[in-house]
Amino acid sequence: MTVQVELPCPKCKSTKMKFERPEIRETDIISCAACGHNLGTMASIREKMNKAYQRVSRPAAGRKLQ
């Protein structure tokens, strides 16, 4: 069984990465299946995505209050 993760690759814009394990570990290094670009570990990617989400959601919340 493989797991499919959809993350945008900043280099080629492909979004599909595959793993041979049934679940992804935080220490797994994520590489783009199309171009081989190293995106970092799953933990570092989650941290970056959480920070980006917080930046996007804060201004939206501020606009609703005005």
Confidence (pLDDT) at 62: 56
Cα of 47 vs its chain's centroid, Å: 9
Q: What is the pLDDT of residues 41-51, one digit of tens each?
A: 888 988 988 88
DSSP 23-34: S--TTPEEE-TT
> How many domains does one find in the chain?
1
pTM above 0.85, yes or no: no
pLDDT band with cut points at 50, 70 and 90 for residue 37: confident
Residue 60: domain span: 3-65
Residue 29 has φ and ψ, to the nearest 5°, of -90, 125
Q: What is the pLDDT of residues 4-36, one digit of tens each?
A: 667 788 888 887 776 667 788 888 888 888 888
d(CA 36, CA 44) in angstroms, rounded, equals 18
